[in-house]
């Protein structure tokens, strides 16, 4: 059976501290009844551009068609998506807390929702992005056009907005196992200051971010051969017991630890690939 084609590449030096990668998924052959995609929270907001038919997201029991260009804020639960008949979608995947280096937005307003790009940068700038992407004839040229557009929005004044960056760095390094109070003490901050910074830069509480990190630390080591060892891997990642692990998988991934990631969908299974997660969260 034909499937979506997925490609990605890391950003150039200028954007590397803020952007994990630029990716594209495509299949221009009209196809109905595409399988549902399950996107698991990983703490990384994304700028999405649907160059062909738009995806729809399951919201309140109904399928709601997404905007053509939007910022997907930090997710706190899995998103169920369904692709249209023809697919060419480009994504710019930010590192946790990084979008405020480019957009004047308190991330709490975008949590678990699509924020139309035109409301963030204006219709002219959003239009320039989609025109530049549509005029590019190859993946590499579209990726380069996306990076040029994004790099033009980066300046020193915006970098000063990233107040949560030190705390995010400590929590990622600890894979979500360090208490918020410990992070605060290490930085000489109050717990309240940490929570305010997370609300601005990620739109979620630091404790929830820690849960997302722990879950992804398990997913980073959970390949086909390891699913039977899920409990052992969970204990290594800082979970208390099997019930603790199962609760987070249910709430954040919408599936069990032993369910294969191929069930996440033709596109979303690439997002939970162990190699990607090890590079992002484990520094491998």
In this predicted model, which residue has the larger pLDDT, 142 or 237? 142
152 and 222 fall within a common domain: no
169 and 155 fall within a common domain: no
Where does a domain end: 110, 143, 159? Answer: 159
How confident is the model at residue 136, as a pLDDT?
97
pLDDT tens, position by position, 179-205: 999 999 999 999 999 999 999 999 999
143 and 172 fall within a common domain: no
User: Which residues span the domain enclosing 214?
Assistant: 165-281
Three-class secondary structure assignment of the chain: CCCCEEEEECCCCCCCCCEEEEEEEEECCCCCCCCCEEECCCCCCEEEEECCCCCEEEECCEEEECCCEEEECCCCCCEEEECCCCEEEEEEEECCCCHHHCCCCCHHHHCCCEEEHHHHHCHHHHHHHHHHHHHCCCHHHHHHHHHHHHHCCCCHHHHCCCCCHHHHHHHHHCCCCCCHHHHHHHHCCCHHHHHHHHHHHCCCCHHHHHHHHHHHHHHCCCCHHHHHHHHHHHHHCCCCCHHHHHHHHHHHHCCCCCCCHHHHCCCHHHHCCHHHHHHHHCCC
Band of pLDDT at residue 161, cut at 50, 70 and 90: confident
pLDDT at 221 over 90: no
Rounded CA-CA distance 268/60 in Å is 21
How confident is the model at residue 264, as a pLDDT?
86
For residues 144-167, average pLDDT: 91
25 has which bridge partners?
A: 6, 89
For residues 203-232, average pLDDT: 77
In the chain, % of residues over pLDDT 70 = 90
Rounded CA-CA distance 111/100 in Å is 13
242 and 271 fall within a common domain: yes
13 and 141 fall within a common domain: yes
148 and 225 fall within a common domain: no
Rounded CA-CA distance 227/30 in Å is 35
In this predicted model, which residue has the larger pLDDT, 214 or 23? 23
For residues 276-280, average pLDDT: 86
- Mean per-residue pLDDT over the chain, rounded: 89
155 has which bridge partners?
A: none
For residues 6-33, average pLDDT: 95
pTM of the shown model: 0.91
Where does a domain end: 159, 178, 213? Answer: 159
147 and 65 fall within a common domain: yes
CA 13 to each of CA 103, 147, 153, 251: distance values in angstroms, whole numbers, following the listed order: 20, 11, 15, 36
Whether the CA torsion 122, 124, 127, 133 is positive or negative: it is negative
pLDDT tens, position by position, 117-127: 999 999 999 99
pLDDT at 41 over 60: yes
192 and 87 fall within a common domain: no
169 and 60 fall within a common domain: no
Q: Comparing C-alpha atoms, which of 15, 44, 3, 17 is closest to residue 272? A: 44
23 and 43 fall within a common domain: yes
pLDDT tens, position by position, 86-125: 999 999 999 999 999 999 998 999 999 999 999 999 999 9
The count of domains in the chain is 2
How confident is the model at residue 162, as a pLDDT?
83
Where does a domain end: 114, 144, 159? Answer: 159
The 19-27 sheet, strands edge to edge: 5-9, 19-27, 87-94, 46-50, 69-72, 114-116
Return all residues near 279 (Cβ < 8 A) that are at least 6 apart: none
Dihedral Cα 207, 19, 23, 214, nearest 10 deg: -20
């Amino acid at each position: 059976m034909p499937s979506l084609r997925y490609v990605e590449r890391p950003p150039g030096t200028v954007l590397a501290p803020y952007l994990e990668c630029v990716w594209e998924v495509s299949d221009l052959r009209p196809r109905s009844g595409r399988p549902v995609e399950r996107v698991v929270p990983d703490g990384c907001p994304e700028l999405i551009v649907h160059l062909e038919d738009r995806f729809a997201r399951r919201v309140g029991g109904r399928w709601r068609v997404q905007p053509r260009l939007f910022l997907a804020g930090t997710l706190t639960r899995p998103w169920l998506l369904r692709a249209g008949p023809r697919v060419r979608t480009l994504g710019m995947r930010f590192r946790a807390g990084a979008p405020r280096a480019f957009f004047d937005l308190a991330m709490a307003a975008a949590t678990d929702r699509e924020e139309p790009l035109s409301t963030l940068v204006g219709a002219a700038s959003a239009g320039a992005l989609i025109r530049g992407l549509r005029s590019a004839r190859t993946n590499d040229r579209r990726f380069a056009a996306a990076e040029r557009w994004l790099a033009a929005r980066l300046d020193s004044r915006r970098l000063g907005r990233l107040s949560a960056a030190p705390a995010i760095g400590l929590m990622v390094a600890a894979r979500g196992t360090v208490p918020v109070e410990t992070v605060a003490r290490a930085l000489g901050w109050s717990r309240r200051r940490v929570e305010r910074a997370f609300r601005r830069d990620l739109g979620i509480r630091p404790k929830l971010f820690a849960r997302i990190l722990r879950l992804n630390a398990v997913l980073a080591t959970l390949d086909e051969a390891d699913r039977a060892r899920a409990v052992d891997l969970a204990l290594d990642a800082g979970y208390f017991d099997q019930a603790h692990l199962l609760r987070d998988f249910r709430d954040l991934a919408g599936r069990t630890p032993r369910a294969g990631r191929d069930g996440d969908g033709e596109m979303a299974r690439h997002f939970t690939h162990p190699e990607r997660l090890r590079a992002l969260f484990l520094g491998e």
